[in-house]
């Protein structure tokens, strides 16, 4: 079993251990894909903020395009797996992601919500060509329902666990109360959440006016993710799944202590999650898990590490505050 290695960043933004630059052969090792962009911005007088260099990554499943947040310098897109980058947000995205749940991308592609702290947030419905600036930012986690409702629910940053709901794609928001920790959404009225001081999953069928505890299971992720007609939430016990819009929940498959995810492949049977031992993959809906990529050296597997997976190309990405962005090609 591969374990995480503790250490420090070395000069030029590379990570101690088996990490090489993007110019070197990349198969089977972690490659730094952000240093060249950060150096270019620095030369233009646009150095990342104090918690830089990178702070959030996502992949559009439809195209394989990679989206990367440069701390306080906006959102950049690459169509060649991190070799080259172009700013794509039109100035709509600022700040940084402080958790791995600040970005939610539709499993069908083209729809992406990027929510940050200490900067502006935005939503795209055309694969990043245009962006709508959100009426809410300073967010730790966001979950979207990418059906016709275009509904989103978010956990505000440093707010005592305040959650907020949008039913118009992120333009307008309504606070729903404090004391929450994680969130999920089905349409614009049915919500699920975890609480800071109570164990279990809570559900509202009236847009957050009233909440009922529906399960003693305890998600570890700050946001539930939807795929097709089911909701998926990571936990220390394994993958939690609901098929009735959050009314009932069950552990699906083998036990596994999960840190980030889930990320979906070609269907609901192919799923990847991050654990402290690296990325784990199932092709049988969680009945069995096997290592898919080792943990990057000096990358703690925790709530701050943002991950992405290009299932078609077999490429994994990571980014977090104070670290460069890396990729791993199988």
- Residue 106: count other Cβ atoms within 10 Å of its Cβ: 19
Q: Which two tokens stand for residue 26?
A: 């990349």
Average pLDDT estimate for 3-18:
32
Task: Provide the whole-model pTM.
Answer: 0.91
When pLDDT is cut at 50, 70 and 90, the band that residue 61 belongs to is very high
Q: Are strands 30-32 and 19-21 parallel, antiparallel or unpaired?
A: parallel
Domain ranges of the chain: 11-329
Q: What is the DSSP string of 253-318?
A: SS-----EEEEE-SSTT-EEEEETTEEEEESSTTSS-EEEEPPPTT---STT-EEEEETTTTEEEE
Residues 156, 180: contact at Cβ < 8 Å?
Answer: no
Does 122 sit behind a cis peptide bond, omega within 30 degrees of 0 on the bond before it?
A: no
Q: Is residue 69 a contact partner of residue 318, using CB atoms and an 8 Å limit?
A: no
- Show the tokens assigned to 217: 């299971």
Highest CATH level, class, for 11-329: mainly beta
Distance CA 12, CA 32 (A): 10
Per residue in 160-216, pLDDT (tens digit) is 999 999 999 999 999 999 999 999 999 999 999 999 999 999 999 999 999 999 999
212 close to 202: Cβ distance less than 8 angstroms = yes
Residue 25 pLDDT: 59
Q: Is 287 in a helix, a strand, or coil? A: coil
DSSP line for 55-90: EEEEE-TTT--EEEEETTTEEEEESSTTSS-EE-ST
pLDDT at site 150: 87
Condensed to tens digits (0 to 9), the pLDDT of residues 100-109 reads 999 999 999 9
Model confidence at 112: pLDDT above 70: yes
pLDDT class for 16, splitting at 50, 70, 90?
A: very low
Look at residue 27 in the predicted model and tell me its pLDDT. 86
Residue 22 has pLDDT above 90, yes or no: no
Within 13 A of 314's CA, how many CA atoms are on the CB side? 8
Position with higher pLDDT, 136 vs 17: 136
Q: Please identify which residue in the block is written with the tokens 């950060």.
A: 38
Convert the pLDDT of each residue in 205-260 to its tens digit. Answer: 999 999 999 999 999 999 999 999 899 999 999 999 999 999 999 999 999 999 99
**pLDDT tens digit string along 275-288?**
999 999 999 999 99
Q: Count the alpha carbons within 13 Å of 295 in the hemisphere toward its beta carbon.
A: 20
Give per-residue pLDDT as tens, 116-162.
Answer: 999 999 999 999 999 999 999 999 999 999 887 689 999 999 999 99
Residue 301: other Cβ atoms inside 10 A:
22
pLDDT at 83 > cutoff 60: yes
> What length is written for the chain?
330
For residue 21, pLDDT over 70 is answered with: no
d(CA 330, CA 327): 10
The whole-number pLDDT of residue 148 equals 76
């Amino acid at each position: 079993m591969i374990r995480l290695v503790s250490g420090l960043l070395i000069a030029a933004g590379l990570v101690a251990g088996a990490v090489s630059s993007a110019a070197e052969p990349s198969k089977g090792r972690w490659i730094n894909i952000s240093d060249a962009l950060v150096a270019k911005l620095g030369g233009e007088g646009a150095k990342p903020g104090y918690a830089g260099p990178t702070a959030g990554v996502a992949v559009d499943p439809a195209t394989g395009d990679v989206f990367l947040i440069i701390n306080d310098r906006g959102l950049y897109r690459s169509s060649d797996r991190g070799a080259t980058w172009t700013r794509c947000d039109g100035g709509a995205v600022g700040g940084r992601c402080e958790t791995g749940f600040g970005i939610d991308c539709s499993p069908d592609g083209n729809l992406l919500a990027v929510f940050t702290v200490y900067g502006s947030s935005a939503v795209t419905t055309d694969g990043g060509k245009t962006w709508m600036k959100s009426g809410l930012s300073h967010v730790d986690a966001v979950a979207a329902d990418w059906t016709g409702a275009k509904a989103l629910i978010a956990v505000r940053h440093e707010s005592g666990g305040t959650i907020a709901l949008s039913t118009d794609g992120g333009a307008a928001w309504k606070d729903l109360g404090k004391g929450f920790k994680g969130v999920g959404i089905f349409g614009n009225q049915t919500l699920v959440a975890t609480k800071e001081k109570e164990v279990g999953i809570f559900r509202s069928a009236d847009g957050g006016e009233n909440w009922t505890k529906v399960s003693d299971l305890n998600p570890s992720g700050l946001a539930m993710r939807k795929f097709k007609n089911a909701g998926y939430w990571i936990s220390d016990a394994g993958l939690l799944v609901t098929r009735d819009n959050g009314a009932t929940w069950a552990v699906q498959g083998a036990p596994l202590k999960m840190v980030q995810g889930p990320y979906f492949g070609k269907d609901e049977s192919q799923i990847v999650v991050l654990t402290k031992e690296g990325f784990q993959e199932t092709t049988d809906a969680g009945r069995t898990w096997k290592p898919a990529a080792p943990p990057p050296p000096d990358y703690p597997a925790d709530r701050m590490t943002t991950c992405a997976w290009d299932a078609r190309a077999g490429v994994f990405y990571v980014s977090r505050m104070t670290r460069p962005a890396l990729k791993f090609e199988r």
